[in-house]
Chains A and B, each alone.
Chain A
Amino acid sequence: MIPLALEEVSFTYPSGVTALREISLTVAPGESVALIGQNGSGKTTLARHLNGLLQPSSGRVMIGDWDTRQHTVAKLAARVGYVFQHPEHQIFKRSVQDEVAFGPRNLGFAPARVAQLVEQALQATQLSTVADQHPHDLLPALRKRVALASVLAMDTPVVVLDEPTTGQDAQGVRAIGEIVERVRAGGRTIITISHDIDFCADHCSRLIVLGGGRVLLDGPRETVFAHGDILEQTAVEPPQLVRLAQRLRLPLAWEPQPLLAALEQSQRQR
């Protein structure tokens, strides 16, 4: 299990657009962190620094004791698994089984270990029944879970999910939420990029809010959701129940039970 550290990281694309401005933060092993913020705030750019797809223009990114500038993307893949937003960007094998096995095989795991990791990943993503199908014959929502399974099977200490819930129905969102919980319970670090703030509130105990390439807020949910003014700057709407609690002038809550208790109390007082 390894920590992550960004040290005064700035990044400017070749086109001249500066996407990250002096970002410093650390993530401890076993944390479940959400990166939130408006389109173009730097979420994906930041995440792509974690597996070396992008190198900082200045500053450095440490994955445990590795400086990403000194290691190849292929080598960093053993530490940071990255699930892309569009599964088409990573899927290329002829069966779901092969696709999911590619990563752990490539990392040089023994065949028995590969088989075990593949089975676990397929089970977690509820794909065991389609293991023999061609990934491109699956519905887009399932194809997205194939991409997720293929990264889970690499058993990396860090997993990055870019917009994991888009296109997923209620059951799919639940399945992905359970995966996040399980990965984190196993002591691995999970970083979720998402506009689905309700999903983030359910499954990420720390929220990092980006705006204009800077960290605007970084903390536990109750702290971040209390800063409605800052969230608004970067087009983040608090979760549905937080907004309801705020409108009703009740204590901040993103889960139904505390909100119902507060409602009960306030109605008793009337």
Chain B
Amino acid sequence: MIQLRNVSYTYPEATTPALNGISLDIAAGEVCAVIGPNGAGKSTLCYTIAGFAPYHFRGELTGEVVVDGRRTVEHPLGELVKHCGLVFHNPLNQISGARYTVREEPAFGLENLGMPRPYMQARVNDVLELLGIAALAERSPFELSGGQQQRVALASILVMGPRVLLLDEPTSQLDPHGTKEVFAAIKALSQTGVTVVLIEHKPELVAEFADRVIVLHGGQVQLDGAPRAVLADPRLPPLGVSVARYTQLAHTARERGLWPAQAPLPVTLDETVAGFELPSINPSSSRPAHGSGQ
């Protein structure tokens, strides 16, 4: 669904490239988490897939970006956004400011596409329901909490039915309950074939919801693999990425002989609990330390 071939991108007036020789293939329906320290190129990667770089930001793009069969440089941004939705980190950069109620905000994008009114009403209701904000429908988007605004911003993109969804920390201001609701909604969409690229700092969420994790650093892909492998990789901390606290704890426990020496480190709470609950921990123990945390 998304192909990057040796992609480099440099912002105008910048001396070093933000992306430096990235090649990636992301399959349809995949939930691909992008992690890395600040300045690694995570947001720029999303802007580049969406076509905002170079269309909106200008700057210099080399290599090839193909999304849903379209080379981004060969199609106008107005065409690309129909297939590829980008949710910004700050919801206030997304909310139009041109609408008075939460209900009208997602409708705005559909109006611009000239959709018939009954269709719009049904679509908007579905999306507000999906994201757990139906009760806020008549409130002003500007009177909501940050977490609620994040859901409105996401709704305004989901309502357009994009095939590719690019999310920049979509739940950074949400409480754990709202976070799980939003991630469950994203996961359900991916199961209908929507491809998701997700910037996320919290290893717990990545382990639970992503199919694949890409670690960026200095505009390059440093690690790329299944969450189970990447999130327990000892190279993460030197790359400026934190691992979950229970992963860290299991690492220390292993050094003290409290975690089976040959078992992989856990990346979810369930795996950690299962590992520590093994009846006996000694080098001859052959039971794997995997839990039920799928």
Contact partner of B37 among A171, A235, A248, A263, CB < 8 A?
A: A171
| Shortest CB distance A129–B (Å) | 13
| A260→B258 contact, CB < 8 A | yes
Assembly CA distance A256 to B243 (angstroms): 14
Q: Which residues of B contact A243 (CB under 8 A)?
A: 269
Of residues 167 through 195 on chain A, the ones whose CB sits less than 8 Å from some CB of chain B are 167-173, 195
| B252→A256 contact, CB < 8 A | yes
Contact partner of A39 among B148, B244, B272, CB < 8 A?
A: B148
Q: Which residues of A contact B201 (CB under 8 A)?
A: 167-169
Of residues 1 through 55 on chain A, the ones whose CB sits less than 8 Å from some CB of chain B are 13, 15, 17, 37-40, 44
Residue with the highest number of chain B CB atoms closer than 10 Å, among A40, A166, A169, A236:
A169
Assembly CA distance A237 to B202 (angstroms): 14
Binds A, one of B65-73, B159-167, B183-191, B275-283: B275-283
| B175→A256 contact, CB < 8 A | no
Known A39-B148, A141-B38, A247-B269; contact A166-B246, beta-carbon cutoff 8 A: no
Assembly CA distance A237 to B176 (angstroms): 7
| A240→B177 contact, CB < 8 A | no
Least CB separation from B139: chain A residue: A15
Contact partner of A172 among B38, B145, B258, CB < 8 A?
A: B38
Interface of B is mostly: loop
Number of residues of chain A lying within 8 A (CB) of chain B: 44
Of residues 248 through 275 on chain B, the ones whose CB sits less than 8 Å from some CB of chain A are 248-249, 252-253, 256, 258, 269, 272-273
Q: Which residues of B contact A168 (CB under 8 A)?
A: 38, 201
Of residues 214 through 258 on chain A, the ones whose CB sits less than 8 Å from some CB of chain B are 234-237, 239-241, 243-244, 247-248, 256
| B241→A39 contact, CB < 8 A | no
| B89→A270 contact, CB < 8 A | no
Of residues 140 through 158 on chain A, the ones whose CB sits less than 8 Å from some CB of chain B are 140-142
| B178→A170 contact, CB < 8 A | no
Least CB separation from A140: chain B residue: B89
Assembly CA distance A87 to B204 (angstroms): 27
Q: Which residues of B contact A172 (CB under 8 A)?
A: 38
Known A267-B281, A270-B280; contact A260-B246, beta-carbon cutoff 8 A: no
Least CB separation from B14: chain A residue: A137
| B269→A240 contact, CB < 8 A | yes
| B272→A244 contact, CB < 8 A | yes
Least CB separation from B148: chain A residue: A39
Assembly CA distance A168 to B36 (angstroms): 11
Contact partner of B175 among A85, A235, A259, A260, CB < 8 A?
A: A235
Assembly CA distance A48 to B276 (angstroms): 44
Of residues 158 through 209 on chain B, the ones whose CB sits less than 8 Å from some CB of chain A are 169, 172-178, 201, 204
| A267→B248 contact, CB < 8 A | no
Of residues 216 through 248 on chain B, the ones whose CB sits less than 8 Å from some CB of chain A are 237, 240-242, 244-246, 248
Q: Which residues of B contact A39 (CB under 8 A)?
A: 145-148, 173-175, 178
| Shortest CB distance B248–A (Å) | 7
Least CB separation from A197: chain B residue: B176
| Shortest CB distance A5–B (Å) | 25
| B241→A247 contact, CB < 8 A | no
| A40→B148 contact, CB < 8 A | yes
Least CB separation from B272: chain A residue: A244
| B273→A236 contact, CB < 8 A | no
| B173→A235 contact, CB < 8 A | no
Q: Which residues of A contact B140 (CB under 8 A)?
A: 15
Q: How would residues 71 to 90 of chain A score, 1 for a CB under 8 Å from any chain B CB and 0 otherwise?
A: 00000000000000110100
Q: Decide yes or no whether A98 CB sits under 8 A from chain B.
A: no
Q: Which residues of B contact A65 (CB under 8 A)?
A: none
Q: Decide yes or no whether B59 CB sits under 8 A from chain A.
A: no
Q: Which residues of A contact B240 (CB under 8 A)?
A: 169-171
Residue with the highest number of chain A CB atoms closer than 10 Å, among B38, B174, B280:
B38
Assembly CA distance A198 to B92 (angstroms): 27
| Shortest CB distance A15–B (Å) | 6
| Shortest CB distance A164–B (Å) | 12
Q: Which residues of B contact A140 (CB under 8 A)?
A: 89-90
Q: Which residues of B contact A112 (CB under 8 A)?
A: none
Q: Which residues of B contact A171 (CB under 8 A)?
A: 37-38, 240
Assembly CA distance A171 to B244 (angstroms): 15
Q: Decide yes or no whether B25 CB sits under 8 A from chain A.
A: no
> Which 8 A-B pairs have CB atoms at the shortest separation, nearest pair first?
A235-B177, A39-B147, A170-B242, A141-B38, A169-B37, A235-B175, A240-B245, A38-B175
Q: Mind listing 15 A-B residue pairs with CB under 8 Å? A: A15-B143, A40-B147, A40-B148, A44-B145, A86-B92, A141-B39, A163-B146, A167-B169, A169-B37, A169-B201, A170-B240, A172-B38, A235-B175, A244-B269, A260-B252
Given A86-B90, A86-B146, 15 further pairs, Cβ under 8 A: A15-B140, A17-B143, A38-B175, A39-B146, A39-B178, A44-B146, A140-B90, A163-B146, A169-B37, A170-B37, A170-B237, A235-B177, A244-B249, A248-B273, A256-B249
